[in-house]
Chains A and B, each alone.
Chain A
Amino acid sequence: MAEIKTKGEMLFNRGAILAVVVALIIMLTPIYWIAATSFKARNLATTIPPTVVFEPTLAPFAKLFTKRSQLREPVAPEVYEAAPWWEKLIYDGGEQVVRNKKTNEPTSSGFGNRYMNSLIVSIISTFLAVSMGTLTAYGFSRFRVPGEQDWLFFILSTRMLPPVVVAIPMFLMYRAVGLHDTHIGLIILYTAFNLSFAVWIMKGFIDEIPREYEEAALVDGYTRMEAFFKIVLPEALTGIAATAVFCFITAWNEYAFALMMTSKNAQTAPPYIPSQVGSGLSDWTVIASGAFLFLVPVAIFTFLLRNHLLRGMSFGAIRK
């Protein structure tokens, strides 16, 4: 059947589309800016007015991963010819890669390691928080827990203190037990931080799953655990996806604890990027390329789970 729309409705629809477009432009501009800057040559990054049409270069990324110093004098042509493509880009910018005196290996800037640290810490802590949160939520949802409301409140109350307040005691404790600057230390921290949230969201989702499903499985000869994995988990997938995205973003973006609790070994990317904004001349293209790479995992993760997320959101909106 064709829908019949009044004039007013059509006007309203056009207005809505316009509003969405404007909002999108406002929200996407910074992302465009970072993405564009991370492919610009250094001298184009800070022009006024901004350069919109330019020849993209990977130089910022080459610089991002290496330690460099200023070239005193132009590089010899045979050295330049022998260099790999990424080193040429650095020479082009009037810089050279700092090489190890003994092995002559190029020195890394440390960004790669930190990026890996971020991935390791965020993925593992997200996995832990979501799996423990789901099991805990299931317990709260399905069994009579004495003092259930109090427990749930207690779990949530761990999120009521601003993290800064506990930072110093945590720092001292971590140093005392040797968790300072370790992956495990950060993983524990982020898991604990996200767990309360995961329990609350997952409880909401699991409460919506009729318990008749699992009970039928119990009667059909399955154990409680089997019923959980075969029946409840697939039904809770939407909620799990939403929770995972949230936990991942929280862990991935976390700055304050990462700065304080880690130094060399386990430091994640967030404290690194601003550390490149020096007091003197900053290479904004390098900072932008770091920020751009930093955005990628969240974008991929969210994109992969988008269907679940959409369903998760509308589900909550309709029911509540």
Chain B
Amino acid sequence: MARIELNGITKSFGAQRALKGLDLVVEDGEFFVLLGRTGAGKTTTLRVIAGLEKPDTGSVSIGNRDVGGWTAAERDVALVLQQYSLYPRLTVRGNLEFPLRSKVRRQSEEEIARRVDRAAKTLQITHLLDRKVERLSGGEMQRVSIGRAIVRQPSVFLMDEPLSALDAKLRESLRVELKKLHAELGATFLFVTHDQVEAMSMGDKIGVLQSGRLVQVGTPSEIYERPLNTFVARSVGSPPMNLIEGRLGAGGAEIGGYSLPVSAAALGARAVTFGVRPENVVLAGGAPAEARVFDIEDQGVIKILAMDMGDTRLHVTVPAGTRVARDEVVRFGWKPERVLTFDPASGVNLALG
């Protein structure tokens, strides 16, 4: 059993505070994605769990045992990095065998051969086994590093943006493979990324990390539909959620001189930031508000419109068949039940307190 639990982890590098009281629980067998921008502390979090970095305060437990005093070798975690992930000078086979030849995990030769073969088959790298790692493409390298992680059969996989250096197509196929692998192995995966598409498509759960703190944890749909604050709201979804300053009045939402319906609970009259995702804005002839189309991006299935309502830039997705031209003035409304309200000062989602 390998549940990961971090309690109140802080970690500073000189004056730079990388983690500020991080609490995180990853349940056994879960595929947990840690999403955060660059510098949020994602790598540091993984290094703390792996035992490569000692936290200043706080405790780390794996499988309900405090591993604070354990070395990296004793923790039985596998780490896959974005780059520099393979041992140079060794062949692919040498790399895959490497962990199985360490003192703590020494295996018999037959067992090593068996595991290497199986991992190679799983990742379709059998034909590369005798190649030197310098001669691999980026995608092959990442497969091999994932292979090196799985031969050990660890209870925890830590992955630090393993796909971010790859091209889009490869990224997509490896995403699928990783999910499959997770299903087969049943191990705990902690996957770190700054790519929200990766987070949404892979995670059983997503944790949003902001400057060394975990802001919200939830399933992808919870994160998407019920973000705790504007930061989380804009972390997922592409194009990001529209945030519109306005007022909640008797007649509903008042934005840019227009009045739109809302189904938000009675909050009383007050200034709020309305949040509405691009797909929940509707263009319609008799709709209450008006904006000028600034740009159109045709993505095949849908079109993404950027339009200006006063000084507020809004993004809207519409079916590809929609006829609309640049600089055209269109009327729009929104789906009232999908509109979120945030506190303008703190950014907190008012519906969630």
Contact = CB atoms under 8 A, between A and B. Distances in A.
Contacts of B50: 219
Interface string B76-104: 01110101110111000000001100111
A216 B80 CA distance: 8
Consensus secondary structure, chain A interface: helix
A219 B52 contact: yes
A226 B83 CA distance: 22
Interface residues of B, number: 25
B105 interface: yes
Contacts of B77: 219
A212 B89 contact: no
A81 interface: no
Contact of A216 (B87, B89, B104, B105): B87
Interface residues of A, number: 16
B38 interface: no
A215 B81 CA distance: 10
Nearest to A222: B102
B72 interface: yes
Contact of A218 (B72, B85, B88): B72
A219 B79 contact: yes
A216 B152 contact: no
B192 to A, nearest CB: 15
A235 interface: yes
A210 interface: yes
B71 interface: yes
A218 B71 contact: yes
B98 A212 contact: no
Given A212-B81, A226-B102, A221 B87 contact: no
A145 to B, nearest CB: 14
Given A218-B73, A220-B99, A234 B81 contact: no
9 A-B pairs with least C-beta separation:
A221-B102, A220-B99, A212-B84, A218-B72, A210-B84, A221-B104, A221-B73, A219-B79, A221-B105
Given A212-B85, A215-B52, A226-B102, 4 more contacts: A215-B72, A217-B87, A223-B71, A235-B88
Interface of B: 50-52, 71-73, 75, 77-79, 81, 83-85, 87-89, 98-99, 102-105, 148, 152
26 contacts: A210-B84, A212-B81, A212-B83, A212-B85, A213-B84, A213-B87, A215-B79, A216-B79, A216-B87, A217-B98, A218-B72, A218-B73, A219-B50, A219-B52, A219-B73, A219-B75, A219-B78, A220-B73, A220-B78, A220-B105, A221-B103, A221-B105, A222-B103, A223-B71, A231-B87, A235-B89
Interface of A: 210, 212-213, 215-223, 226, 231, 234-235
